[in-house]
Structure 1
Amino acid sequence: MNERETAVRITVLTVPDCPNAPAVRERLQTALAGRAVPVDLVEVSGEASAARWGMAGSPTVLIDGEDPFAAAGTRPSVSCRLYRQADGTTDGAPSVADLRRALVQAGLPEAAGEECCEADILDPLGRAGRGRRAPADRGLRAVHQTVLLHFADAGTAPAPGVLDPVAAPYGRTARDVLAELAAEDFLTLDEEGWIQAAYPFSATPTPHRVRIDGGTRAWSMCAIDALGIPAMLGRDVVISSADPVTGEPVTVTTINQKSVWEPAGAVVFVGRRSGSGPAASVCCDVLNFFTSTTSARTWAGEHPDVQGEIVDQARAEGIGRQIFGTLLADD
């Protein structure tokens, strides 16, 4: 273990039940990329406690006791905190890129080049570090989770009218909420407002078929999405896909949340195209299962326009858990 890594200490300050606490923890985990750095979680109640800790809103990230995101003259507060992102929008937690820069500025050595590169490749899947768990306000999370559960139970997307009772307590229509979810890339809609995808699920056929314990059959948007479904639902699945080069089948079967891959040497290529846009257009069709590393390298050589990495089974499953594991959580 690197001595300098243990010298850096991170403290996350939140008010009780802060809706953005899970997001900041997930982004820190991604930014740290497996490096051994202690992270203390502290709940702060009251302005006096906020002043004592130096909390400028919830959540606040302290690195070695300093707030790297605080503007000059910022006062202690227990209110919700907003962070300005690179594209000018605001979010309830710092982005992975901003956390990574703050850690390096604090003296933490950069992660290995491959890990950094992989994190950048995965930005569209994880909404540039903002995570795929919808915010709790304005009915976004309630509608989003209802959509995901409908896919899990029926294998298809719900009609907007089915979601109206879920949106109504927030003073909104389902179509309004769905439009906002689509704008933030939690799901995609067609021109008439019907759901086409709600990551990890697809409403139309893809190369990745998922049979969920209990009998439901659904399509996933990509290989990583398929691997995230058992973690999200807490249920076993059978994933059926095919190597894009050889056409040979690739199957992943989970039993008690433990996976068996066939063939045993199967891997996943994690890639993205250049440019910006929703994950559905930037990366979903280039995250695929392959029967072997050799086959994945062949495909990568035939697609020079796609930036990507080959990841092993454990890493692929870990990415799926990280992105989708908390989407249905209550807190």
Structure 2
Amino acid sequence: MRITILTVPNCPNVPLVRERITTALGGRTAQVELIEVRDEAEAARWGMTGSPTVLLDGTDPFAIAGAPESVSCRLYRDTDGRTDGAPSVQALRQALSGVSAPQAAAGQECCDADVLDLVGRAGRGRRAPAERGLRAVQQAVLRHFAATGHAPQTSVLEAAAAQADRTAAEVLAELDREDFLALDGAGRIRVAYPFSATRTRHRVRLNTGVEVWSMCAIDALGISAMLGQDVVIASSDPVDGRPVTVTCTGGTTVWEPAAAVVFVGRRDGVGPAATLCCDALNFFTSHASAEQWQQEHPEVRGQVVSQARAVEIGEETFGLLLCED
């Protein structure tokens, strides 16, 4: 068997995936090769949908249908729904034995596989790759939102884009194509996950006093971890408009009402998260209210998740976006 690890240069998860492959092999002999992929064209040629991608005899056993080729980070989800930078040893053993990665149990909603992968760009994460100025501009956009509550003008981003010998408009257009943010018809930023440039149901007050709008409930819950700040989220139940407040302080959350939950859903189709799922990820005052909303919206597939799971998803999705490495 030939095992190929496709990776961007200096990917921090390469040692982890190598170690897990060795463990999964359990002493069996296999040819393991490491190939560095440096641009989107190479990624397309190799079929790499994020770093690291593992191929077994040229086939990706963990491929997600519809995931585009990319040189960005790739995340893998285990059977408990947790994300990691490499397939688990169990998943690798199954793949090496010719068994596909585990799917959702019969009768289980497809939401975890579909919606959360869309929230995280089909398992590749919301953090833009460092190449071509993408991460520098993305982070400049997010920091401007956090400092002012508003989207930056393109001129504010020119210095970050110039580090890669590009214009801000060029980098923003690529970030838009890759669904790291979304532009309007005039090329202005209307979405930079987790932030919205326009009013939404979810208002987040930072401990600096700045107020921002978030795209959805999960985005709102990820802002505290992303900024390393205490925040207060003010939202409302879509069924009856009753308020839902989440106070994030020192890594803990207090929910009001105490029975509040989050519904995570998506519509069928192809497109960015802003179109397919952001308005289907909401806070509800109770499980019953979330179920009522789901029954009233049969076009949305999804499920109710607990407070702890919703916070975990938000942290996993947005916690590393402003890291420098």
Q: TM-score, normalised by structure 1?
A: 0.76
Does residue 1:255 correspond to 2:255, yes or no?
Answer: no
Q: 1:129 deviation in Å?
A: 1.0
The 1-side partners of 2:211 and 2:21 are apart by: 39
Say whether 1:110 aligns with 2:102: yes
Structure-1 residue corresponding to 2:46 = none
In the alignment, structure 2 segments of 5+ residues that lack a partner are: 23-29, 37-50, 78-85
Is the 8 Å Cα contact of residues 85 and 91 (structure 1) preserved in structure 2? Answer: no
Alpha-carbon contact 2:266-2:280 (below 8 Å) kept? yes
Larger mean Cα displacement after TM superposition, 203-212 or 126-135: 126-135
2:128 partner amino acid: A
| Pairing 1:90–2:77 present | no
Q: How far has the Cα of 1:311 moved from its partner?
A: 0.2
> Is the 2:5–2:34 Cα contact (8 Å) retained in structure 1?
no
Alpha-carbon separation, structure 1, partners of 2:67 and 2:275? 22
CA contact (8 A) 2:268 2:276 kept: yes
Match of 2:223 in 1: 229
Q: CA 1:60 to 1:283, structure 2 compared with 1: closer, same or farther past 3 Å?
A: closer
Amino acid at match of 2:70: D
Quote the residue 1:5 is aligned against. Answer: none
| Aligned twin of 1:77 | none
Amino acid in structure 1 at the alignment position of 2:131: D
In structure 2, how many angstroms separate the alpha carbons of the residues matched to 1:329 and 1:144?
12
**Alignment partner for residue 18 of structure 1, among 11, 16, 29?**
11
The match for 1:56 is 34
1:137 maps to: 131
The aligned residue for residue 170 of structure 1 is: 164
**Which 5+ residue runs of structure 1 have no aligned equivalent?**
1-10, 29-37, 43-51, 62-66, 73-82
8 Å CA contact 1:267–1:293 kept in 2: the answer is: yes
CA contact (8 A) 2:204 2:231 kept: yes
Q: Structure 1 190/70 Cα, relative in aligned 2: closer, same or farther at 3 Å?
A: same
- How far apart are 1:18 and its partner, in Å? 2.0
For residues 272 and 161 of structure 1, the distance between their equivalents in structure 2, rounded to whole angstroms, comes to 35
Residue 94 of structure 1 deviates from its aligned partner by: 6.1
Provide the C-alpha distance between the structure 2 equivalents of 1:60 and 1:70, rounded to a whole number of angstroms.
16
Select which of 256, 262, 265 maps to 1:268: 262
Instruction: Give the percent of matched residue pairs that are identical in Structure 1 and Structure 2.
Output: 53
1:130 alignment partner, SS class? coil
* TM-aligned CA deviation for residue 186 of structure 1: 0.4
- Is the Cα–Cα contact under 8 Å of residues 200 and 213 in structure 2 kept in the other structure? yes
Partner of 2:41: none
Cα distance, 1:213 vs structure 2: 1.1
Q: Secondary structure at the match of 1:123?
A: helix
| Alpha-carbon distance, 1:165 to partner | 1.1
> 1:311 & 1:129 partners in 2: Cα distance?
19
The AA in structure 2 aligned to 1:90 is E
1:1-331 equivalences under 5 Å are 17-18=10-11, 21=13, 40=20, 54-58=32-36, 68-71=55-58, 86-87=65-66, 89-92=68-71, 96=76, 104-105=94-95, 106=97, 107=99, 110=102, 113=105, 114=108, 117-331=111-325
- Quote the RMSD (CA, aligned, Å): 3.4
Q: CA deviation at 1:183?
A: 0.5
The 1:206/1:60 distance shift into structure 2, 3 A limit, reads closer
Contact 2:104–2:110 (CA under 8 A) maintained in structure 1? yes
Matched AA of 1:257: G
- 1:227, 1:152 → 2: CA distance? 14
CA contact (8 A) 2:161 2:168 kept: yes
Secondary structure of the 2:119 match is coil
Q: Verify the 8 A CA contact 1:269 1:296 in the aligned structure 2.
A: yes
Q: 1:104 to 1:277 in 2, by over 3 A?
A: farther
User: Which letter maps to 2:291?
Assistant: R
Alpha-carbon distance in 1 for matches of 2:227, 2:31: 37
| Change beyond 3 A, Cα 1:103–1:198 | farther
| C-alpha distance in structure 2 between counterparts of 1:261 and 1:129, whole Å | 28
- SS at the partner of 1:124? helix
- Distance in 2 separating the partners of 1:153 and 1:279: 24
CA–CA separation in structure 2 for the residues paired with 1:108 and 1:85: 12
The residue identity in structure 2 corresponding to 1:148 is L
Equivalents in 2 of 1:146, 1:287: separation in Å? 26
Task: Provide the TM-score with structure 2 as the length reference.
Answer: 0.78
SS in 2 for 1:122: helix
Could you tell me whether the CA contact under 8 Å between 1:211 and 1:238 is conserved in 2?
yes
